[in-house]
Amino acid sequence: MFFDVIYRGYERLLTGEIRKHHTPDHIAVIMDGNRRYADRLGIIRHQGHTYGAKTTERVLDWCWELGVKQTTIYAFSTENFSRNEDERAAIFDIIKKKLDELLRDPRTHERRMRVRAIGETHLLPDDLQDAIKRVEDATCSYEGIYLNIAIAYGGQREILDAVLDMARKVRAGELRADDVDESIISEHLYTNGVAIPDVDLIIRTGGNIRTSNFLPWQANGSECAAYFCAPFWPEFRKIDFLRAIRVYQVREQERKRAASRRIVDLLAACGHAELEDVADHVRHAIGKRDMANGYGGAVRKSHVNQI
């Protein structure tokens, strides 16, 4: 009882602090630790994944409350195909049920949430592929928020497929090799209709500090903010989520401070006569950034970095 009161107070405090600053547009989540959670409770392992799926539902509500536009969840990696058949079947069954629930859930439609799967979905069982298609078709006209489900997904494979696709187009004369840049590569990744934008924040639960082949391109290598935490996915609480958002905000503030420090250093390093040249350089860089705003986030980011 006492701890509940403190917890709710802390949650309100964090929420109030977070709302004063910019919140991430795109959060990606590695929902790890489901089997270890089940082991700790002494229950059957796939029950851990069932509890984990309930956490996913809560996290989608929290993202909605904070106005997060895109949420990408890691549901099943290409590496996970090496798990035993019973475990794979249990996980696929849970995902299928959750997709059907999403389809019926009024929140999906009220929020105009577009649901997309990214990955080598043709490798999945037919009934799961059908469930994916049902929810994708029902939400394909929505543009409110986006839920991207990385399933049968591997980041290296995604980049390889994009390269093979571009090579084929170059051979067919549909693409000039010289035109390939960040935005062209982004367009050739798994988009399922609309390009997946750069990730602002990756969250991983379960205590491991690695990103397990998840969105290497969209996370700009692993340059986006990252929050690794110990709780297993089924026990991930709202205060953990809010702390992750705070890590993103601190990171953004540091980035802005570093950019202004760089401009001050640059000005200090210039003599009076050279300042006009510097002003030209800055004007040019800002012009380039504004132009890049019409293209993909990857281009935008790299141009800002040049400033």
Active site residues: 32, 80
74 binds, among Mg ion, ligand IPE, none (CB under 5 to 8 A by kind): ligand IPE
* Strand runs labelled E in the chain: 26-30, 70-77, 113-118, 145-153, 201-204, 225-228
Contacts of 145 (CB under 8 A, 6+ apart): 63, 64, 68, 69, 70, 71, 111, 112, 113, 114
Tell the smallest beta-carbon distance from residue 78 to Mg ion (Å): 14
At 9, is the secondary structure helix, strand, or coil?
A: helix
Residue with tokens 């540091």: 254
Query: Which entry of ligand IPE, Mg ion, none binds 154, CB below 5 to 8 A by partner kind?
Result: none
Binding segment (CB under 5 A) for Mg ion, from list 28-36, 56-64, 162-170, 247-255 = 28-36
Ramachandran assignment for 69, one of left (phi > 0), alpha (psi -120 to 50 degrees), beta (any other): alpha
Nearer to ligand IPE, 28 or 299 (CB): 28
Q: Which stretch binds Mg ion (CB under 5 A): 26-34, 97-105, 140-148, 168-176?
A: 26-34
Touching Mg ion, residues 30-69 (CB under 5 A):
32
Q: Report, in Å, the least distance between residue 208 CB and Mg ion.
A: 7
Q: Measured from the CB of residue 236, what is the shortest distance to Mg ion in angstroms?
A: 14
Binding-site size for Mg ion (CB under 5 A) equals 1
Give the residue nearest to Mg ion (CB). 32
Q: Which residue's CB is nearer to ligand IPE, number 50 or number 108?
A: 50
| Alpha-helical regions (H) of 20-44 | 34-41
Residue with Cβ nearer ligand IPE (26 or 303):
26
b vs e for 255-286, b when ≥16 Cβ sit within 10 Å of the residue's Cβ?
A: eeeeeeeeeeeeeeeeeeeeeeeeeeeeeeee
256 binds, among Mg ion, ligand IPE, none (CB under 5 to 8 A by kind): none
| Gap between the terminal Cα atoms of the chain | 52
Nearest residue (CB) to Mg ion, 35 versus 96: 35
Contacted entry of Mg ion, ligand IPE, none for residue 34, CB cut-off 5 to 8 Å set by kind? ligand IPE
The contact set with Mg ion (CB under 5 A) reads 32
